[in-house]
Structure 1
Amino acid sequence: MTAGAALASALAAYQPLSATETTDVARLRSALAGDPWDRSTALHATASALIVHPPTQRVLLRWHARQRAWLQVGGHADPGETDPLEVALREGREETGLTDLAPWPDATIAHVAIVPVPAAPHEPAHEHADVRYVLATGDPDAARPEKPGAELRWLPVAEAWSLTTEPNVRETLDRVHRLFV
């Protein structure tokens, strides 16, 4: 199995919902020819999730100091990881301490967005082809930041939408809102 096989499988039935997303998915699919998770490439895959508590229709945002923005949880695949849903689940558990996370309302991709990442002392500017899921918890009070400065906030979708400045995150929030109603 190739490094991109699980990602290709997840993308096979996915239908983008906008012209921008259609372009982003096409760029991600083109990265499948190599290792889409290879962090040394200028465009590489990441996986993330918007964590929700369906009974209260709240979402969880995390402060990301490097991006200086309130975003969903997520990140890079660890060595040997190739399944985007598994990456999103692991990142969600690590960044929130929530141990009961499960795909909601199902295990399909919720959104694909290519996101620019600014240069840092240890790496040049690059892009993340972020594959996003929705994960639910039944125990929102158990959420704990993974480290100081990585604050977590449970918010109604409208408040989360106002708090984030990222248009692609707002699009993900819009999609989750439609799942709630």
Structure 2
Amino acid sequence: MTTSLHADAVRALDSWTVADAGQEQLRLDYLDHLAANPDGLWRACLPAHITASAVVIDPAAGRVLLTLHPKVGLWLQMGGHCEPGDATLAAAALREATEESGIPGLELLTEGGGPVPVKLDRHQVRCAGKDRPENTHLDVQYVALAPAGAEALISDESLDLRWFGYDRLPELTDTSVRELVDLARGLVG
């Protein structure tokens, strides 16, 4: 499964067309990372590894679900590390979104017949623990569509979980999340 997930990540990034020069440079950097690291999707790959996330939106209600991350202290989209059972990068993002939101029936936004990334974000974290050096998450971000009126169920991976109107994001949200929400909103109307 490791080889097929790696191949899928390369395929997903290689076939993704990006209009923004900054996103294009990240896409190329991610592909270079995967070319140099056969284990580049796993938490054990240091100093950087690919992660997968999805911003969960309810387009019918014009709202986005965010989690208050216990380690970071910010409201973020759902996401995390790839696992050996993930068949694809998109499946990893959907698994994380489903686990952390408690919402069954989430569907990733698709284009051309399959799920596609919508944004890349490279950021420093301490996923190995407070006493360990920071490493880099090379996050591949998707949009997950929630069924209309979906109710979230908080998991033990979150301090809090709440729906927010697109224009009413909490103060403790970083620029990357705000950009992701704006992008998702533009894609689904």
Measured after TM superposition, the shift of residue 148 of structure 1 is: 7.6
Match of 1:113 in 2: 121
Match of 2:40 in 1: 36
- The count of aligned residue pairs is 180
Gaps of at least 5 residues in structure 2 are none
The two structures have a TM-score, normalised by structure 1, of 0.89
Q: Does the CA-based 8 Å contact 1:46-1:77 persist in structure 2?
A: yes
Determine the C-alpha separation between the residues in 1 that align with 2:91 and 2:11: 13
Match of 1:137 in 2: 146
Q: Secondary structure at the match of 2:54?
A: strand
Determine the C-alpha separation between the residues in 2 that align with 1:73 and 1:59: 11
- Classify 1:46/1:82 alpha carbon distance in 2 versus 1 (closer, same or farther; 3 Å): farther
- Classify 1:180/1:102 alpha carbon distance in 2 versus 1 (closer, same or farther; 3 Å): closer
Measured after TM superposition, the shift of residue 122 of structure 1 is: 6.0
Identity level (%): 29
Determine the C-alpha separation between the residues in 1 that align with 2:109 and 2:4: 27
Q: Does the CA-based 8 Å contact 1:57-1:180 persist in structure 2?
A: no
| Equivalent residues in 2 for 1:1-181, closer than 5 Å | 1-33=3-35, 34=37, 35-40=39-44, 41-81=46-86, 83-106=88-111, 107-118=115-126, 120-121=129-130, 123-147=132-156, 149-160=158-169, 162-181=170-189
The two structures have a TM-score, normalised by structure 2, of 0.85
- Classify 1:137/1:64 alpha carbon distance in 2 versus 1 (closer, same or farther; 3 Å): same
TM-align CA RMSD: 2.1
Gaps of at least 5 residues in structure 1 are none
Determine the C-alpha separation between the residues in 2 that align with 1:123 and 1:8: 29
- Stretch moving more, 103-112 or 4-13: 103-112
